[in-house]
Structure 1
Amino acid sequence: MHFEEALTKLGLTPIEATIYTTLCKHGALTGYEVAKLCGISRSNVYAALYSLQDKGKCYLLDEEPNKYIAISKEDLLLLAKKDFKAIYETIDTFYPENLLVSDPYITIKGYQNVIDKITNTIKSCKSHLYILTTADILEQFRDVLSEISTSKRVTIICNSHLILGEALVYVKVKPPLGFHMIVDTHCVITGDLANTSSQCLYTTNQSLVRLMRESLITELEMIRLTNQ
């Protein structure tokens, strides 16, 4: 994510983000100077400058000719924190109740989307989780698994002797296929993390949760018997 894209996340339009960035780089400028530097029509520049003032992102200096200056980095960060805090609290308080009575099967596509869903699901763990996958895939979740293993029971089956915090790691000689995880005997994530075609299935359907739990327990028992 680049700087101007981040500004749009704060509610600025693309033109406003470009103008704000220009003010940051060049200091106090007239509307004409902004238009010349940005290659944007003066009418659009002045409309954006007025909007930036309304949004508290720039100031009009009390001098002639009229010049505009961006708020400081410190002020922008404080405003961003305030806005994000308000957004977070609103979502937390008013998130609509789920009226569905069934447990849907949700397909998540795209490498980063899959990574984010797995990471967030790990962080939501309240008691214990099981993972069956390869060591290479586990490395992508090393930090979050190491952290959560200090307070939750984390059991991992993979193809290498990894040290992930206080997690219990069982070695399966044949590398497992894909990624499979059960969290709190409540939800399941299973799928593939190949960069080009990453996709996973997420569900809280208890039939699938029980089925995968039994499969993982069988894997653990076979590993224990092999190591005896």
Structure 2
Amino acid sequence: MEEAAIIEHITLFGLSRQEAAIYLCLLKNEELTGYEVAKLTGISRSNVYNGLASLVEHGAAYVMEGTSSKYLAVALPEFCDNRVRYLMKVKERLVADGPKKSLPREGYITIEGYEHICDKIRHMILGAEMRIYFSATGAFLEEWTEEIRELVKAGKKVVLISEDNKELFSKDEELRDGIIQYRVPEHFREPEEEEQRSDQIRLIIDSEYILTGTVTGKSDDACLYSGQKNFVRVFKDAMRNEIALIRIARNE
């Protein structure tokens, strides 16, 4: 990973870009004085000392007392684990005491960007109370193995439709036995239609909320999220009909 990318990722743990650069410098070296950090990073000495004080405050560095104070980086895994643990505690307090907000049932919400779509999928799957119906390519469905495993362990119904006829979880017998899977036969669609549908996803949670759209891994991916009753009912009927056709094709 490039240094700029490492710094960018470190900032996600509550450090400024400059603090992240100083922390990375400490990680690459033994204990350093503020003067040595300034010399290695090219950051002004006053900013370095402010940054080092902030790193100590955030639990990213230790101070080694001596004739002149030296600083030692807290190991990266330890720092990250501590920050995640701290944020989880903060999350619990916020959820308990903060304002409650739920998305409107009757509206249609556009979710843009691959990462944001994946965040929504994860939240929907883990929030399911009874069942999920999830249709996508086999590879995309298997990206959610751990989330699906949580549902199976909780005894919730999981129905997966592999749009590209891929067998799901072929090496995980326990998980495979805990789901209902349907594989769309290759002859169901014309080649151009199959290509068009290869990046489509459809997700229904508890027969109340749906997410549908395209996922290609890019920032311009977009999905529609809704709990509008008529829309959800039409969506469910379409998926139910597709499952019926698959079962007929399989002579079930």
TM tier, smaller: 0.7 to 0.9
Q: How many residues align?
A: 228
Name the aligned partner's letter for residue 162 of structure 1: E
Which residue of the partner structure matches residue 60 of structure 1?
63
Aligned counterpart for 2:144 among listed residues 127, 141, 145: 141
Q: Write the deviation string for residues 178-205 of structure 1: whole angstroms up to 9, x where unpaired.
A: 2112111121011112345421111122
TM-score, normalising length: structure 2: 0.76
SS of corresponding position for 2:14:
coil
Superposition CA RMSD, Å: 2.8
Q: After TM superposition, what 4+ stretches of structure 1 lie above 6 angstroms from structure 2?
A: none
For residues 110-142 of structure 1, what are the alpha-carbon distances to aligned partners after superposition, in whole Å with 9 as ceiling and x for unaligned?
Answer: 223223322332222221111233334323334
> Contact 1:104–1:205 (CA<8 Å) still a contact in 2?
yes
SS in 2 for 1:123: helix
Aligned residues: percent identity?
31
1:56 deviates by: 4.0
Please give the per-residue CA displacement for 1:138-167, whole angstroms capped at 9, x wherever unaligned. 233344335533421112233426244222
Match of 2:37 in 1: 34
Residues 146 and 167 in structure 1, CA contact (< 8 A), matched pair in contact too: no
Question: What is the correspondence of 1:36-115 to structure 2 with a 5 Å cutoff?
Answer: 36-72=39-75, 76-77=79-80, 79-98=82-101, 103-115=106-118
Instruction: Tell me the residue number matched to 1:215.
Output: 238
Are residues 158 and 56 of structure 1, via their aligned partners in 2, closer, same or farther at CA, if it must alter by over 3 Å? closer
Show the counterpart of 2:167: 162
Q: Structure 1-normalised TM-score?
A: 0.83
Between the aligned partners of 2:209 and 2:56, the Cα distance in structure 1 is 47
Gaps of 5+ in 2: 170-175
